[in-house]
Amino acid sequence: MDRIRIRGGKPLSGNIPIGGAKNATLPLMAAGLLSDGPLTLENAPDLADIATMRALLVQHGMKVEHDKAQRRLVLSGAAENLEAPYDLVRKMRASVLVMGPLVARFGEARVSLPGGCAIGTRPVDLHIKGLEQMGAVFDLEGGYMHAKAPGGLRGATIIFPQVSVGATENLLMAATLAEGTTELVNAAREPEIGDLAMCLMRMGARIEGIGTDRLVVEGVKRLGAATHPIIPDRIEAGTYACAAAITGGTVLLEGARMVDLGAVVRTLRECGVDVAEETEGLRITRKNGLRGADVMTEPFPGFATDMQAQFMALMCVAEGASMITETIFENRFMHVPELTRMGARIKYHGQSAIVRGVPKLSGAPVMATDLRASVSLVLAGLAAQGETIVNRVYHLDRGYESLERKLSAVGAEIERV
């Protein structure tokens, strides 16, 4: 099995290109089910999760071409098989995003329940309740959610009791083909949702309130072909910003946008890191020592839970104490014991962790159970004395394209072995 070997202590310097956002691409691909297309997605990243979504859509009966050289995905055709099987859904929870489009367009879907996941229970009740409000009838059979709406979905006012990115996306897609008006209240406002809405509009959907927590969708009879550029990956950008900060270098994140990274940029600045917006992207520079800072994860525009582990790695070598509170997912501190093995001083209880900065981490063999936890260990390795081996690299391949190539191009000593 592949592993990543890092020899820490090299400040990074140079440019890192930021790819298209994984978490935008997955719902955009699911949106391909809403029309015969073709739907052309530009700036598509080459990641394991994208390959999983492609396999899912292909088994539904769609044609999905991924031109990796051109960074383009082209989706066309219609679903014939309305079942999303356990094997694919358990590999990637975002597979449930096919449910809304399938029920809206074909009046039926059978989607495996995703089951447990490393960062908590993560139910899908909000997806189901919303579709029920739009007229779908659900049965649970053999671990599958079987949704039926033979006469099509109808518009409804859906008030989310809790902000959910996936449920907002699923219901937004479903609403585009529902009869009448759907109002999504307390909707998630992540940039990936704005990107999905823009693409749906290009396909012919009628949506108001993009970028706010109240989306109003006027259903249409059908959607058509479109070409859509995917937004840059704010989490990839934030991760490499932490890499520059933890090693004390200067890196230009090509294509990264300040608008997507407000809370992360504010926190980096509080820690003593310079962040400047340039025409080609964001420049991250750290000249002096790092200072500790407190963060609490929140829905956008708050500090992203997907940046929590990376930020914790940074705080391990900052001066003073930092309190990190995770409010989105239970059980999202699995990186703590591994960081501790590298010499970090972290205590956690429930949803909060206290990190007391140390002058140096030391390299060690480590492994993690999810994508962002794994990359936090890479960051720690970049700053640590000696050699770090990160095991279970397949987690990294789900969300970071050419991680070791991008980092070694800016001076890191990192390789896949």
Q: How far is the CB of 270 from ligand UD1 (least distance, A)?
A: 22
Tokens of 105: 């367009």
Min dist CB 417 to ligand UD1, Å, is 28
271 is known as an active-site residue: no
303 binds ligand UD1 (CB under 6 A): no
CB contact burial 373-398 (16+ within 10 A = b; e otherwise):
bbbbbbbbbbbbeeebbbbbbebbbb
125 in contact with ligand UD1 (CB under 6 A): yes
* Window contacting ligand UD1 (CB under 6 A); options: 123-131, 236-244, 263-271, 402-410: 123-131
- Our finding on whether 126 is near ligand UD1 (CB under 6 A) is yes
400 part of the interface to ligand UD1, by CB under 6 A: no
Under rule CB under 6 A, residue 130 binds ligand UD1:
no
Token readout for 294 is: 């407190």
3-class secondary-structure state, position 121? coil
Rounded CA separation 305/303 (Å): 7
Cβ proximity to ligand UD1: between 166 and 343 the closer is 166
> Which of 285, 341, 293 shows the shortest CA–CA distance to 315?
293
Residue from 166, 219, 232, 281 binding ligand UD1 (CB under 6 A): 166
- Give whichever of 113 and 225 is closer to ligand UD1, judged by the CB atom: 113
Q: Tell me the DSSP string of 201-255.
A: HHTT-EEE-TTSSEEEEE--S----EEEEPPB-HHHHHHHHHHHHHHT-EEEEET
By Cβ distance, which residue is nearest to ligand UD1? 166
> Which residue in the set 44, 167, 253, 264 belongs to the binding site for ligand UD1 (CB under 6 A)?
167
Place of tokens 């501790």: 340
Quick check: 94 binds ligand UD1 (CB under 6 A)?
yes
Altogether, the residues listed in the chain come to a count of 417
Burial string for 43-62 (b: 16+ CB within 10 Å, else e) reads bbbebbbbebbbbbbebbeb
> Does the protein bind ligand UD1 through residue 122 (CB under 6 A)?
yes
Three-state DSSP class for residue 343: coil
Measured from the CB atom, the residue of 237 and 328 that comes closer to ligand UD1 is 328
Considering only residues 25 to 44 of the shown chain, the ones binding ligand UD1 according to CB under 6 A are: 26
Contact between 416 and ligand UD1 per CB under 6 A: no
Q: Is 329 in the site for ligand UD1 (CB under 6 A)?
A: yes
Rounded CA separation 279/301 (Å): 23
Written as six digits, the tokens of 208 are 């108001």
190 or 404: CB nearest ligand UD1: 190
- Does 123 engage in binding with ligand UD1 (CB under 6 A)? yes
Residues at the site binding ligand UD1, with contacts judged by CB under 6 A: 23, 26, 93-94, 120, 122-127, 162, 164-167, 188, 192, 305-306, 328-329
Q: Which residues are catalytic?
A: 117
